[in-house]
């Protein structure tokens, strides 16, 4: 019997997830159907439960429901608990399991596709909203020697790292704290690129040979990436690869088989 999955969000019409999962299923010979579900702002839990009652096996969760998904799940992975956000729900006999594959998707894209080491590197994450939350633990686990979270509203950055306690190399604050520090990997997790806005980064943030990574995708060269290139970043990249890799991790959680990301990434880049 065909197993059903879905992505739930608001808005959802432009989600690439149905296409990604259809491609993974074809590649792995898995009999699944994957659809996009629009839930009203106050109707996330109802939409999930209705899908589950209809035989659904799991869902991806996107904006603005990742915190609601954390609350709905009965059990969580450590990375979801630390991120305080869930992007993947799996339904089983014990209830609803919540995971967060965003951060591992980012790490996989940086390390495996772009060939940039994270181990021993100085990493800067810009932003302290939903997109930033998911990536802290996976970046630490990947061996970043230092991880700085800088946000327009400094208190949000400080709050974001609070669950990690005092940890060598992990700091948070406003953009002003960046001073003369330089980084090997600079990740834009703010939503500034969505409205074509730049960020007030001091010159010298980008170390020689550094990577600038914008989590936004489908926007071409964003202001952040253009500024990064002008300020000396060697490699500038948008977030399409992270999207594909987080989807592959969700697929693995549900189906127990890891799809080959590279051909799907190539297909999306040419689309």
Residues engaged in binding ligand ATR (CB under 6 A): 127-131, 151-153, 156, 190-192, 197, 199
Both tokens assigned to 234? 């060697």
Q: What angle do CA 229, 230, 234 make, to 5 degrees?
A: 35
Max CA pair span of the chain: 59
Nearer to ligand ATR among residue 176 and residue 209 (C-beta): 176
In the bound complex, which residue of the shown chain has the CB atom lying closest to ligand ATR?
129
Report the residue count for the chain: 271
List Cβ<8 Å contacts ≥24 apart for 262-268: 262/113, 263/27, 264/20, 264/23, 264/24, 264/27, 265/113, 265/240, 265/241, 267/23, 268/16, 268/19, 268/20, 268/240, 268/244
Instruction: Kindly tell me the sign of the dihedral angle through the C-alpha atoms of 93, 79, 215, 159.
Output: positive
What whole-number distance in Å separates Cα of residue 5 and Cα of residue 36?
9
Active-site residue, selected from the candidate residues 57, 66, 180, 219:
66
Both tokens assigned to 58? 């799991």
End-to-end CA distance of the chain: 31
Active site residue 180: no
* Closest approach of ligand ATR to the CB of residue 218, in Å: 14
* Closest approach of ligand ATR to the CB of residue 132, in Å: 6
Residue 11: asked if its preceding bond is cis (omega within 30°), the reply is yes
* Closest approach of ligand ATR to the CB of residue 127, in Å: 4
What whole-number distance in Å separates Cα of residue 267 and Cα of residue 270?
5
- 89 forms beta bridges with 59, 98
* Closest approach of ligand ATR to the CB of residue 124, in Å: 13
Q: What residues act catalytically?
A: 66
């Amino acid at each position: 019997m065909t197993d059903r999955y879905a992505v739930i969000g608001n808005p959802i019409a432009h989600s690439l997830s149905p296409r990604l999962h259809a491609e993974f299923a074809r590649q792995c010979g898995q009999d699944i159907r994957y659809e996009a579900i629009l839930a009203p702002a106050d109707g996330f839990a109802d939409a999930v439960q209705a899908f589950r009652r209809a035989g659904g096996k799991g869902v991806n969760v996107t904006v603005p429901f990742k915190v609601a998904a954390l609350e709905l799940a009965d059990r969580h992975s450590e990375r979801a608990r630390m991120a305080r956000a869930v992007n993947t729900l799996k339904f089983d006999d014990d209830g609803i399991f919540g995971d967060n594959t965003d951060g591992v998707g980012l790490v996989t894209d940086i390390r495996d596709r772009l060939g940039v080491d994270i181990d021993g590197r100085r990493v800067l994450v810009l932003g302290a909203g939903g997109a930033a939350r998911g990536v802290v633990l996976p970046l630490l686990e990947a061996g970043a020697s230092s991880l700085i979270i800088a946000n327009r509203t400094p208190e949000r950055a400080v709050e974001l790292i609070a669950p990690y306690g005092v940890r060598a190399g992990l700091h948070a604050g406003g953009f002003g704290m960046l001073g003369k520090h330089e980084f090997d990997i600079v990740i834009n997790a703010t939503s500034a690129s969505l409205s074509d806005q730049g960020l007030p980064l001091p010159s010298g943030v980008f170390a020689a040979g550094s990577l600038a990574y914008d989590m936004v995708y489908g926007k071409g060269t964003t202001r952040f990436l253009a500024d990064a290139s002008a300020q000396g970043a060697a490699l500038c990249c948008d977030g399409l690869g992270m999207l594909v890799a987080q989807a592959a991790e969700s697929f693995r959680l549900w189906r127990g088989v890891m799809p080959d990301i590279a051909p799907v990434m190539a297909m999306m880049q040419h689309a």
